[in-house]
Amino acid sequence: MDIQLFIPCYIDQLYPETGFNTIKVLEKAGCKVTYNANQTCCGQPAFNSGYWEESASLASKFLADFNPNSPIVSPSGSCSSFVIHHYQKVLANSPELLARHAQMKSTIYELSDFLVNVLKVENVGAQFQHKVTFHDSCSALREYGIKDEPRKLLAQVLGLELIEMEECETCCGFGGTFAVKNNSISTAMVEKKVEFALATGAEYIISTEASCLMNINGYIAKNKLPIKGIHLADVLASGY
């Protein structure tokens, strides 16, 4: 299957290896991956900060950069769900763009959803000899709607032991600019998240969201804790 790769800003700028691993996993699953190097931000950070005009400009570019006639796959439920559910708001005064968005939104998928529910692939041949726990990102869980899909994929990873943490669905405290504007609250939230993860005895916290992992790993590094956040795509690309 031919697919288009949509790489969010956080991955492009901070975790490029996760982007390459996403390609590796999709090709392992039988896909031919194309990447449009002209793509930029989907507009979510600007939208969440109240800059809707800037977000609309980025939304318009996104719609021009991708083809609505083939699947668009991203290693982020947050960015995927923003494009699917919020472009109608920022493009409300652009009937032509709204029509293009209506055609495109059904072709946009988060990685685990695409693998499990479209390709019907749960075992990608990965090996990861570690105890792990899983953090459900707010946007991926509540807005995009993935819960079982990442866990189905992890269940097939050779050597991996998944131990669910307490309050796995609770926010890690990132929330975009929330972590900056409400630093004390954000820090308390990520502290609680990491403490629950440590209590499982896991070596890694896995998530589908690079932004959550940036927040989690920042706290872990600052406090020199014996655990690490890692993206689902990086785990699925391990061992082959």
Residue 149 within any structural domain of the chain: yes
Dihedrals φ, ψ of 194, to 5°? -70, -35
Residue 12 within any structural domain of the chain: yes
Q: Of 40, 186, 199, whose CA–CA distance to 133 is shortest? A: 199
- DSSP structure class, residue 207: E
Q: Do residues 78 and 139 touch, judged by C-beta distance below 8 A? A: yes
By residue count, the chain amounts to 240
Residue 216 within any structural domain of the chain: yes
Q: Which domain holds residue 149?
A: 131-236
Number of other residues whose CB lies within 10 A of the CB of residue 1: 14
Residues 61 and 138 both lie in one domain: no
Residue 125 within any structural domain of the chain: no
Number of other residues whose CB lies within 10 A of the CB of residue 146: 24
Residue 10 binned pLDDT confidence (cut-offs 50, 70, 90)? confident
CA distance 222 to 19: 25
Residues 43 and 73 both lie in one domain: yes
Residues 229 and 138 both lie in one domain: yes
- Asked if residue 201 has pLDDT above 90, the reply is yes
In the Cβ-directed half-sphere of 104, how many Cα atoms lie within 13 Å? 25
Q: Of 204, 205, 82, whose CA–CA distance to 136 is shortest? A: 205
Residues 135 and 97 both lie in one domain: no
Segment 48-72 shows an average pLDDT of 95
Number of H helices, E strands in the chain: 13, 8
Residues 22 and 107 both lie in one domain: yes
Which amino acid appears at position 117 of this protein?
Answer: N
- Asked if residue 117 has pLDDT above 90, the reply is yes
Residues 114 and 135 both lie in one domain: no
DSSP, collapsed to helix, strand or coil, labels residue 72 as strand
Residue 21 within any structural domain of the chain: yes
- Asked if residue 181 has pLDDT above 80, the reply is no
Query: Could you tell me the CA-to-CA distances from 177 to 17, 79, 83 in Å, in that order?
Result: 24, 15, 19
Residue 171 within any structural domain of the chain: yes
Alpha helices in 91-229 (DSSP H): 95-104, 111-113, 138, 148-155, 178-181, 183-199, 210-223
Residue 88 binned pLDDT confidence (cut-offs 50, 70, 90)? very high
Residues 57 and 98 both lie in one domain: yes
Residues 135 and 101 both lie in one domain: no
DSSP, collapsed to helix, strand or coil, labels residue 107 as helix
63, 95, 118: which is the final residue of a domain?
A: 118
Residues 6+ apart with CB under 8 A from 5: 19, 22, 23, 26, 33, 34, 35, 72, 73, 74
Give the model confidence (pLDDT) of 204-216 as tens digits: 999 999 999 999 9
Residues 40 and 137 both lie in one domain: no
Q: Is the pTM of this model over 0.75?
A: yes
- DSSP structure class, residue 131: E
CA distance 63 to 23: 21
pLDDT at residue 7, rounded to an integer: 97
Domain count, the chain: 2
Give the H/E segment covering residue 84: helix 77-90
Segment 27-40 shows an average pLDDT of 96
96, 118, 140: which is the final residue of a domain?
A: 118
